[in-house]
Amino acid sequence: AMGGIPTNVHAEVLMDNDTVVPGLFAAGECACVSVHGANRLGTNSLLDLIVFGRRAGKDIVRFVKETKGIMPVQPDAADKVKARIDKILSRTKGESVGKVREDLQQMMMENVSVFRTEETLATASAQIKKLRERASNVAIQDKGKEFNTDLLDALEIEFIVDYAQTVVESAYARKESRGAHAREDYPKRDDKNWHKHTLCWLDDAGNVELKYKSVNMKLADQDPRFAPKERKY
């Protein structure tokens, strides 16, 4: 993956450049340890899956052995999750998850696909706000509490909207083209201003805060083959 949950080489999730979230690990294409640069080539996902999957497993074992007792959690964490589920199960009217997901897919394809502009990204940003409201009010037919895939879909669509918004806002802010991020209105790479990772923070109200993380260039300093280059075919 070219983006995802920021991690170190031990698959530990990072809050910023170096701060580890204790006990939280991510590996595979959901994670970003940043071994691909700005454009992952086909099948190179095996590096994320196999190498860092193994490293994650080994470090989880290490963490469990070294950790004494149970780590503290928010006292109301379970109540918040239960309330979220109960709200969906008790809702009697609303759109179907499938319709919201279909409209989100179509909107992202039209505005945030291979080639992007400020206009298309601004359109997507406005549409995301409407889709967020729709996603939070979907209704499901299955009210059961065992193996309820309708419930899983209803929860998932809210997370998909969250992720779509982080992509849109990050792309809107990045006024350059780099790797798989292509802006027709900013076709050149801008190392002076944009040679950095985007870290996106999203609050419960759907407000986005963008922060940035420097790119580790130690390897490029040792070997010029790893320096940023123009994308050519």
Domain boundaries, the chain: 1-72, 95-233
Q: The pTM is what? A: 0.89
Contact 178, 194 (CB under 8 A): yes
168 — pLDDT class (breaks 50, 70, 90): very high
Pick the CATH number of 95-233 from 3.40.50.300, 1.20.58.220, 1.10.10.10, 1.20.58.100: 1.20.58.100
CA 37 to chain centre: 16
**Tokens (6 digits) for 9:** 């080489």
Contact 25, 57 (CB under 8 A): no
| Least confident residue range of 45-49, 146-150, 175-179 | 45-49
Say if CB 48 and CB 35 are below 8 A apart. yes
Q: What is the mean pLDDT of residues 71-92?
A: 93
Average pLDDT over residues 102-127: 97
Determine the Cα–Cα distance for residues 180 and 36; give it in Å rounded to an integer: 11
Locate all alpha helices (DSSP H) within 67-144, ordered by sequence: 77-90, 97-111, 118-135
